[in-house]
Amino acid sequence: GAVVSQHPSRVICKSGTSVKIECRSLDFQATTMFWYRQFPKQSLMLMATSNEGSKATYEQGVEKDKFLINHASLTLSTLTVTSAHPEDSSFYICSARASGAYSYNEQFFGPGTRLTVL
């Protein structure tokens, strides 16, 4: 149980294009999902917290207009990197906070999406 998927797992795009990453909780409902970015040999940095049906809360320094987050349902959140540039290349990981049968506090992570902007 508590499986989180991400799609795509890997994407390469040209500078200036937009990329959408999906995060799904497969066997549980997630009222809250989190988006992280991880650079090589660094830890996870929280970008934003999204709650189903409401606007995402962004961490300081994260551009809201550049990283669009939509949490349309209890099992799906999307992150769109708009007008991507090479400096946006990174490993993007989502997580979902489970409720119900699982501990309220635990976050379960997706497998990550490797974004490379040329």
Partner 1 sequence: EDQVTQSPEALRLQEGESSSLNCSYTVSGLRGLFWYRQDPGKGPEFLFTLYSAGEEKEKERLKATLTKKESFLHITAPKPEDSATYLCAVQAWGNTGNQFYFGTGTSLTVIP
List interacting residues with partner 1 (CB under 8 A): 2, 4, 6, 32, 34, 42-46, 49, 57, 91, 93, 95, 97, 103, 105-112, 114
Q: Which is nearer to partner 1, 81 or 112 (CB)?
A: 112
Other CB atoms closer than 10 Å to residue 22's CB: what's the count? 16
Q: Which is nearer to partner 1, 16 or 39 (CB)?
A: 39
Closest distance of CB 13 from partner 1, Å: 19
User: Backbone phi, then psi, for 59, in 5-degree steps?
Assistant: -75, 160
Our measurement of the distance from residue 76's CA atom to the centroid of its chain's CA atoms, rounded to an integer in Å, reads 10
Q: Which is nearer to partner 1, 57 or 70 (CB)?
A: 57
Closest distance of CB 87 from partner 1, Å: 20
Closest distance of CB 94 from partner 1, Å: 8
Closest distance of CB 69 from partner 1, Å: 14
- Give the CA distances from residue 3 to residues 16, 85, 96, 97, in Å, rounded to whole numbers and listed in that order: 33, 31, 9, 11
**Contact residues for 20 (Cβ-Cβ < 8 A; gap 6+):** 78, 79, 80, 81
Q: Which is nearer to partner 1, 67 or 108 (CB)?
A: 108
For residues 25 and 110, the answer to whether their CB atoms sit within 8 Å is no
